[in-house]
Amino acid sequence: MIPRTCEPIADDPLVEAEIYRDMDHTIVNRQFVDDLILGGPVGPWVVDLGCGPAHIPILLCEAIQGDGGETHYRPAQERLRVMATDVAVEMLEIAKFEIEMAGRVEQIELQQIDLNQPNALQADIADTLMCNTVLHHLDDPTNAIGLAIRAAKPGGRLFVRDLFRPASSAEVEALVEQHGGESSSAQLLRQSLHAAFTLDEIRTIIAPLGIEAEAVQITSDRHWTIDWTKP
């Protein structure tokens, strides 16, 4: 097993945010939203931890309640609301533009929070906490997962997906070749895979937080997913 290597600090956060925005995550983002909705109840109050350019909050709002009031998956008793959070001001500026262009300003609000801060969110505020490919950016994701648990209402759902670290550099390169795209995005994926947590590592992290090991499973050729309901 290759050792974990944390990602380097970006020389220019704005440039990195723009590269990330321009990467084509359409398939994986739609899969995330489909799996979230089909796996159990969602909302009506949702918090997204590490929203990036807010593509997933936008897709979720469109899937639950479309522009014309149509519902693609199931009727919503209340209008879905999303608090989309990120630590990077540069990313939040991009997210603000994307939300405005999608016409979702009234449904999606933006909030700057640091997932390393234990009291960054109020307790018991969300019906659903979602987080997509964010934890590998952190030196230690324990606080972020604990923060999500704390912010979920009793009976609330935690849905977290991230990359897992392959066993060898050759496996990393095979995934980069298959999913990396152009050179700049390929390098970001390579760094992310080296910084990701294995299934055993994430199960070790969540155990003291009260999440059973079975709640996290491998769900693709490069992702694990936590799907857990708070007692």
DSSP string, 174-185: HHHHHH--SHHH
Structural domain contains residue 206 = yes
Structural domain contains residue 129 = yes
- Residue whose token pair is 């909050």: 57
Distance CA 219, CA 226 (A): 10
CB 94 within 8 A of CB 21: yes
Tell me, what's the pLDDT at 87?
A: 95
Residue pLDDT tens, the chain, 231 long: 999 999 887 767 777 767 667 777 899 999 999 999 999 999 999 999 999 999 999 999 999 875 444 444 444 457 899 999 999 999 999 999 999 999 999 999 999 999 999 899 999 999 999 999 999 999 999 999 999 999 999 999 999 999 999 999 999 999 999 998 777 788 889 999 999 999 999 999 999 999 999 999 999 999 999 999 999
Tell me, what's the pLDDT at 213?
A: 98
Q: Hey, what are 197's tokens?
A: 């947590």
Structural domain contains residue 4 = no
Tell me, what's the pLDDT at 66?
A: 52
- Give the number of domains in the chain: 1
Q: Which domain CATH number covers 224?
A: 3.40.50.150
pTM of this structure? 0.93
Structural domain contains residue 7 = no
Structural domain contains residue 182 = yes
Structural domain contains residue 5 = no
Structural domain contains residue 189 = yes
Tell me, what's the pLDDT at 67?
A: 47
Residue 156 is inside which H or E element, if any? strand 152-163
Residue type, 93: E
Structural domain contains residue 160 = yes
DSSP string, 29-92: HHHHHHHHHHTS---SEEEEES-TTSHHHHHHHHHHS-TTS--SSS--SS--EEEEEES-HHHH
Tell me, what's the pLDDT at 72?
A: 46
State the residue range of the domain holding 59.
Answer: 13-137+148-229
Q: Hey, what are 203's tokens?
A: 């199960």
CB 169 within 8 A of CB 2: yes
Tell me, what's the pLDDT at 78?
A: 73
Tell me, what's the pLDDT at 77?
A: 56
